[in-house]
Amino acid sequence: MATIVGSVMTSHVPAIGGAIAKGRQADPYWKPFFDGYPPVRAWLDRMKPDVAVVFYQDHGLNFFLDKMPTFAVGAAVEYRNDDEGWGIPTVKPVRGDPALSWHIIESLVADEFDITTCQQMKVDHALTLPMALMWPGGGDWPVRVVPITMNHVQHPLPSPRRSWRLGESVGRAIRAWQSDARVLVMGTGGLSHQLDGQRAGFINKPFDLMCMDALVNDPVKLTGYSALDLVREAGAQGTELMAWMAARAAMTGRVTKVHSNYHVPISNTAAGLLALQNDEIALPKAA
């Protein structure tokens, strides 16, 4: 059976792509952000995942307001990236894992999740930037990818509880997959941010830190919030936290925190990073 090695959750602000392209990682503005990632990369080097199952949001590159699936799962051999208008370089097509995709899709539908299945799918900054942060070097990433989008763009949004259950179901599917693959589960987006409207620029550090703490040891607590509670507490786009919740839910039981980072602001966003090792695997703990 496949093994879930752990989870990485990270923000995905488009400006990160510009900073990488221009080699700005050591600039005073960017350093506290980029400094979070090397310990996570070192951990990934030890964990050696073969596949990344990524919970994220499509911000209009693939789905737009006219057709917005609540949850969609990619089932393609590869996923193309494209210009979203942020002025960041596009990356090479991302390798898929159709066998795992279809296994997850079958399992989710059997579990009564009415998902959208995508045999063609473009992936936006919310998938490509977290990948580039984990594996720098321009797109030759050592993992295959199963993209799972969640609607955090157009209301009505799924609830945090539903997002948690989605993650649980995906986790069960991965653990039942007859393969010796090592699987990393990623959740991207957040933390608190609001890009427009009267509260543009809104950030809630105490709430973010509470969530990062809860995700380690008491994640179910976060399912008590409604989607609109998250809008209020974390800003309109802070609802992306639900992708972190889904990733956490894919792991049963206890996890060990490998590393975390929190830096305010990157662009309009409170940038968070959390790496969790699944305690079910027998591997040395990170320092």
Calpha distance 174→10 (Å, rounded): 21
| Annotation says 152 is catalytic | no
- 68-107 footprint of ligand DHB as x/- string (CB under 6 A): ----------------------------------------
Both structure tokens of 40: 């996570």
Residue 283 to residue 137: CA distance in whole angstroms: 27
Q: Does 192 bind ligand DHB (CB under 6 A)?
A: no
Nearer to ligand DHB, 75 or 241 (CB): 241
Q: Which of 3, 269, 277, 278 binds ligand DHB (CB under 6 A)?
A: 269
Radius of gyration of the chain (CA): 17
Kindly report the number of other CB atoms within 10 A of residue 107's CB atom. Answer: 17
| Active-site entry in 125, 152, 259, 263 | 125
Site membership for ligand DHB, residue 248 (CB under 6 A): no
Residue 193 is among the residues annotated as catalytic for this protein: yes
Instruction: Give which of 275, 193, 195, 199 is closest to 241, Cα–Cα.
Output: 193
Q: Which of 152, 193, 259, 263 is catalytic?
A: 193
Interacting residues of 73 by C-beta distance below 8 A, sequence separation 6+ = 101, 104, 105, 108, 115, 116, 117, 118, 146, 147, 148
Closer CB to ligand DHB, residue 74 or residue 189? 189
Catalytic residues: 125, 193
Please report, as ranges, the residues that interact with ligand DHB according to CB under 6 A.
12-15, 59, 126, 189, 193, 195, 237, 267-269
